[in-house]
Amino acid sequence: MVEPFARLLDVLRDDLDLTGTKEGCGGGECGACTVLLDGESVNSCLVLALEVMGKSVVTVEGLSNHLELDRLQQAFIDEGAIQCGFCTPGMLLSAKALLARQKAPTVQEIRDGLSGNLCRCTGYERIVVAVSKACAKDN
Ligand code: FES
Ligand code: FES
């Protein structure tokens, strides 16, 4: 039973134990809570759980096929694009949505596509390189 004003973020983390989705600001500013909703990246702290009825929700737990990592996950590891890891699930899902829209984004397009996701550790450079490498693998 979902409370009428329950946030998608809370239902994912507290009810479904999908704790890969993180809460940073809780106000739509940091992107740590990013998930895919029908393929589009959204801040799950700003979405009511009831709003997603009948829609597809993908969290970081759903990115790999459980046999191998998604190419973005592997690229983040290979390129050392993770430090504390708090921003990583949201970064991965924003990057996933970007690559679904654009097969070969430029560096600027990657930066723009990830502009809603804050990272306090990496300086972004390795994250951008990782997303570029993931595109290259696919092309
Ligand atoms: S926790 Fe949702 S945008 Fe920061
Ligand atoms: S790796 Fe720490 S916030 Fe991005």
Position 138 scores a pLDDT of 58
Position 66 scores a pLDDT of 86
| C-alpha 9 to ligand 2 mean position (Å) | 19
Atom of ligand 2 nearest to the CA of 121: 2
The per-residue pLDDT string of the chain (139 residues; one tens digit each, 9 = 90 and over) reads: 788 899 999 999 999 999 999 999 999 999 999 999 999 999 999 999 999 999 999 999 999 988 999 999 999 999 999 999 999 999 999 999 999 999 999 999 999 999 999 999 999 999 999 999 999 865 5
| C-alpha 73 to ligand 2 mean position (Å) | 14
- Mutation pick for ligand 1 pocket among 10, 22, 25 (CB with most ligand atoms within 8 Å): 25
The rounded distance, in Å, linking the Cα atoms of 45 and 26 is 6
Encoded amino acid at 55, one letter: K
* Locus of tokens 């290259």: 136
- Yes or no: say if 41 and 93 are a contact pair by the CB < 8 Å rule: yes
**Atom 3 in ligand 1: residue holding the nearest Cα:** 28
Q: How many CA atoms lie within 13 A of 49 on its CB side?
A: 16
The rounded distance, in Å, linking the Cα atoms of 8 and 93 is 16
Instruction: Indicate the pTM of the whole model.
Output: 0.96
The rounded distance, in Å, linking the Cα atoms of 74 and 88 is 12
- Mutation pick for ligand 2 pocket among 87, 91, 126 (CB with most ligand atoms within 8 Å): 87
Q: Which residues line ligand 2 (CB under 6 A)?
A: 82-87, 119-122
Position 139 scores a pLDDT of 55
| C-alpha 128 to ligand 2 mean position (Å) | 13
89 lines ligand 1 (CB under 6 A): no
* Residue 41 phi, psi (nearest 5): -80, 135
Hey, what are 122's tokens?
């990496």
Position 4 scores a pLDDT of 87
